[in-house]
Chain A
Amino acid sequence: MIKSIAHVTVYVLNQEQALDFYKNKLGFEIGDDMTIEGGFRWLTVYPKSQPKLQLVLAEPKEGPMFTKDASEKIRSLIEDGAFGVGVFETDDCQKTYDELVAKGVEFTQAPTEQLYGVEAMGKDNSGNWFSLVQQAK
């Protein structure tokens, strides 16, 4: 039986800039930040209250996984907002939204009542969208 999810990959345009966003804007913590042989930077972040779910911030560079063409296409798709990080939960969507807006986080939808709670939609500094959801009680 699968117990939990430990790592989820988030493709970003620039690891250093993504780290600044997730750490200094969203308030995540650094899990790992180390340079592996071959020059690959293994960089993970996690929400402070959920240290066992690490987001792997990876650049889609040309290499074993991507050809140059594929890498450029992926980067273009990231910028176009084709990919999503997922749903971040909060106890107070409006308050968290206000705090993040004050920090310069870009939102495409202000907090809105939904059947399942209150939801705002934003983008990270690569272009990946995310939802900010306050679950209905």
Chain B
Amino acid sequence: MTTNYQFKRLCAGRDYIADNYLDPFSLSRAAKSSHMSQYHFSRVFKKLYGETPNEFLIRLRIEKAKKMLITENLSVSEICERVGYISLGSFSSLFLKQVGMPPTLYRRTLWALSSETFHFPSQIIPACYAYHFLGKSAN
């Protein structure tokens, strides 16, 4: 059981990672923000959030990249840099692992589904919401 005090400290470390997502990952600095040892920080972080601090950072960066791929007219290389990766290869590989398709294919697929430029297609949200709010049926 995470206490209120421990939870607050953990949140400080998590916020540190989120606020500095463009910088190279530093477990020691994140742990320091939580006033915990690196080992303890990683352990309680994983226990509470179900992912390691590094996995959290990757997920955060990929989510930002997914949004940019749809809403911005930037190249994949530019997006890679704008979410904190130096290597396009590493970025593409992590994107593929998280999303199930490479960045370019993700963009092409979603852009093709959407009727409006730089907007997400309705298929990205649960069909019940698309049906009720947009009048779009899954079929």
Binding site for B on A (CB under 8 A): 7, 27, 34-38, 40, 42, 48-49, 51, 56, 58, 63-65, 90-92, 95-96
User: A91 CA to B8 CA in the complex, in Å?
Assistant: 12
A-B contact pairs, 23 of them (CB 8 A): A34-B70, A34-B120, A35-B71, A35-B119, A35-B120, A36-B120, A36-B121, A37-B116, A37-B119, A37-B121, A37-B134, A38-B116, A38-B122, A40-B133, A40-B134, A42-B120, A49-B2, A49-B7, A65-B132, A90-B4, A91-B3, A92-B4, A95-B4
Stretch from B31-39, B79-87, B123-131 at the A interface: B123-131
CB pair B2–A37 under 8 Å, yes or no, is no
B120 contacts which of A27, A37, A63 (Cβ < 8 Å)?
A: A37
For residue B46, CB closer than 8 A to chain A, the reply is no
Contacts of A49 in B (CB 8 A): 2, 7, 48-49
Write the nearest CB–CB distance from B110 to chain A, whole angstroms: 10
User: A51 CA to B11 CA in the complex, in Å?
Assistant: 13
CB pair A63–B48 under 8 Å, yes or no, is no
- Nearest A residue to B70 by beta-carbon distance? A34
Q: Is the interface of A mostly helix, strand, loop or mixed?
A: loop
Given contacts A49-B48, A49-B49, A64-B132, contact A36 B7 (CB under 8 A): no
For residue B67, CB closer than 8 A to chain A, the reply is yes
Contacts of B129 in A (CB 8 A): 7, 42, 56, 58
